[in-house]
Structure 1
Amino acid sequence: MDIKQKTSLFAVITAFILASSKFSVGFISGSLAIISSSLDSLLDTFMSGMNFFAIKKAGQPADDSHQYGHGKVEDLAAVAQSVVVVFSGVFIIYKAVESYMNSVTITYSLYDFLVMIISLALSFAIVLLLRRIGKQTGSNALLADALHYTSDLFSNSGAILAIALTHYTGNIYYDLLFAIIIGCIIIFSAVKIARSGISGIMDSSISEKMTKEIERIIQEMPFPAVGFHKLRTRHSGSTKYIDFHMLFCKRLLIDEAHELANNLESEISREVKNADVVIHIEPCNYECDLTEATCTIRLGRKT
């Protein structure tokens, strides 16, 4: 089990504990904010579980049917999660309004506060862990999970405020208000998750910052490398696919050009995690003295 799978499994277990604790407290107190927060955590449990299996599948090596690997499983999981999250947000808002209209009685205890504060601390810890590992591995699934738990931070904070305000004022309007806010935050998070997943499915290019870093590495290649063009990038799950045409001095032997291209691929892979680099070698067609000092393309690139 790799670091991504371990992180995802940890999120599943923690989310289940949070959901169970908050639902018990919310059921006893009748708090809409706590119940809505527990539903959010229950969804996190389900979706973190989905992520766990998606990450496990995505990590399988390429086969005859999937020669580019299974990375898009992570992106598909992210899109599927976003649909479920939207419905949960709408449901929370609907139940909040319905309960307010029926004048449901709400009671709180010190235990309610303690459970929500502990939930807030655990959610914050999970967000930090998922973001760190997600960025290290380039996993869309883990970053999508981090968004879920970020919404938990807001929902837990809202539930705590709702408990305090309702307890001291006796007005259940605050519980309704924060339940609606939590629902809206969940829906907004779902949209961000969907955009991330769809981006991977549609073979969107990698970030502009990363692309510029790749260009910098290529341009630092010494003579007899003289230029490049047709740089293309895309990402599938955690893998970044990079390909471009590299121009070499036409007097260079094929095996020498191949070795230089391999070195360049290795250099890019060191800087870009989970990179799959393909370089097409092309001969330079310019006429010159065939030295670094007189190479027409390199001189043109410097000016």
Structure 2
Amino acid sequence: MSSQKKATVVSTSVATLLLTIKLLIGVASGSVAVLASAIDSLLDMLVSVLNFFAIKKSEENPDEEYHYGKGKVQAIAAVIEGTVITISGIYIIYEAVMKLVKGGETTLLAPSFVAMLLSIVITYGLVKYLQRTAKETNSLVIKADALHYQTDLWSNGAVLMALGLVWISGYHEIDALFGLAIGLYIIYSAYAIIVEGVEILLDKALEGEIVASIGEILSKHPKITSYHWLRTRSDGTTNFVEFHMVLRPNMLLLEAHRIADEVEEKMMELDRKKRWIITPHFDPYDDEAVNDAILNGTPLMETPSAEVKI
């Protein structure tokens, strides 16, 4: 089992444990904040199961039908996860508002306090584990899961604080107010997950720093006259790079291939955690204007002639 799959199994198990603890205490105590946290743990469990199958599918090798693999499945899962988190935040806000309007007391404060304290300890350990796995694998799904449980950590802390304040002050509205704040924070945290997933699905270019480094690798090679038509994207697990490099018109194909191997190796060193698919194109002259014309559907310009020097 890969480290990514193992991480989803661990997170599913932890979410199930936390769900059981919070649900029992939340129902018994009537605490909106604890019940909200229990609902969040239920969604955590469902999302972790989804992530397991998403990672399993994304790890499948390219085939005759999917030539570039299925890496974007992780991005789809991240968008779904972010959406689920948003829905849970909306539900928590609804429950908090209802308690503020209708009123109600929070009982069993001591057991609730202990349960949330235990949840914080368990969640903290899980967050550290997921963050380490995300760093090692560079997986968007695990990264999203780590962020998700990190928001849980903060929300659990807020619930703990709310219970403590209710216990001390006797004002049960505090529980609902903290539940409202937790719901808003959960929605806010989901935004980043959704955006990153959508950007991958829309083939956003690689990070500016990496693109600049790729350009520097090409421009500094002594036998590359110039380069153009640099295009990059990622599916979450694999970086894709395409570029045209201008070489001497009379250069042997064998030498051109060797140059391509050299720059490709340097590019892959920029991020060893991901796979790379690099597609170079050899040009005897700079035909960027022609390529732009083809892309934009405008009349083709006359191609420059290349003087071949023997």
Normalising by structure 2, report the TM-score: 0.86
> Shift of the alpha carbon at 1:287?
7.2
Preserved CA contact (<8 Å) 1:138 1:239: no
Preserved CA contact (<8 Å) 2:249 2:307: no
Question: SS of the counterpart of 1:271?
Answer: coil
How has the CA–CA distance of structure 1 residues 133 and 281 changed in structure 2, closer, same or farther, with 3 Å as cutoff?
A: farther
> Shift of the alpha carbon at 1:201?
0.9
Partner amino acid for 2:147? Answer: L
Q: Distance in 2 between matches of 1:281 and 1:175?
A: 66
Preserved CA contact (<8 Å) 2:204 2:233: yes
Residue 94 of structure 2 corresponds to 94
User: After superposition, where does 1:259-298 map in structure 2 within 5 Å?
Assistant: 259-272=258-271, 273-284=274-285
How has the CA–CA distance of structure 1 residues 219 and 67 changed in structure 2, closer, same or farther, with 3 Å as cutoff?
A: same
Q: Distance in 1 between matches of 2:124 and 2:248?
A: 54
The answer to whether the aligner puts 1:50 opposite 2:50 as a matched pair is: yes
Provide Cα deviations, 1:276-297, integer angstroms capped at 9, x if missing partner. 211112225787999xxxxxxx
Question: SS of the counterpart of 2:225?
Answer: strand
Q: Displaced runs of 4+ in structure 1, greater than 4 A?
A: 284-290
Normalising by structure 1, report the TM-score: 0.88
Q: Distance in 2 between matches of 1:271 and 1:82?
A: 29
How has the CA–CA distance of structure 1 residues 214 and 123 changed in structure 2, closer, same or farther, with 3 Å as cutoff?
A: farther
How has the CA–CA distance of structure 1 residues 61 and 109 changed in structure 2, closer, same or farther, with 3 Å as cutoff?
A: same
Residue 230 of structure 1 corresponds to 229
Residue 30 of structure 1 corresponds to 30
Partner amino acid for 2:126? Answer: I
Aligned residue pairs total 289
Q: Distance in 2 between matches of 1:138 and 1:245?
A: 28
Q: Distance in 2 between matches of 1:288 and 1:173?
A: 83
> Shift of the alpha carbon at 1:164?
0.4
Preserved CA contact (<8 Å) 2:210 2:270: no
Question: SS of the counterpart of 1:128?
Answer: helix
> Shift of the alpha carbon at 1:218?
2.6
> What is the percent sequence identity of the aligned residues?
34
> Shift of the alpha carbon at 1:109?
4.2
Partner amino acid for 2:260? Answer: A
> Shift of the alpha carbon at 1:16?
1.5
Task: Return 5+ residue gaps in structure 1 as ranges.
Answer: 291-303
Q: Distance in 2 between matches of 1:9 and 1:218?
A: 42
CA RMSD, aligned part only? 2.1
Q: Distance in 1 between matches of 2:214 and 2:116?
A: 45
Q: Distance in 2 between matches of 1:125 and 1:249?
A: 57
Q: Distance in 1 between matches of 2:186 and 2:11?
A: 18
Provide Cα deviations, 1:252-302, integer angstroms capped at 9, x if missing partner. 210111122122212211322322211112225787999xxxxxxxxxxxx
Residue 257 of structure 1 corresponds to 256
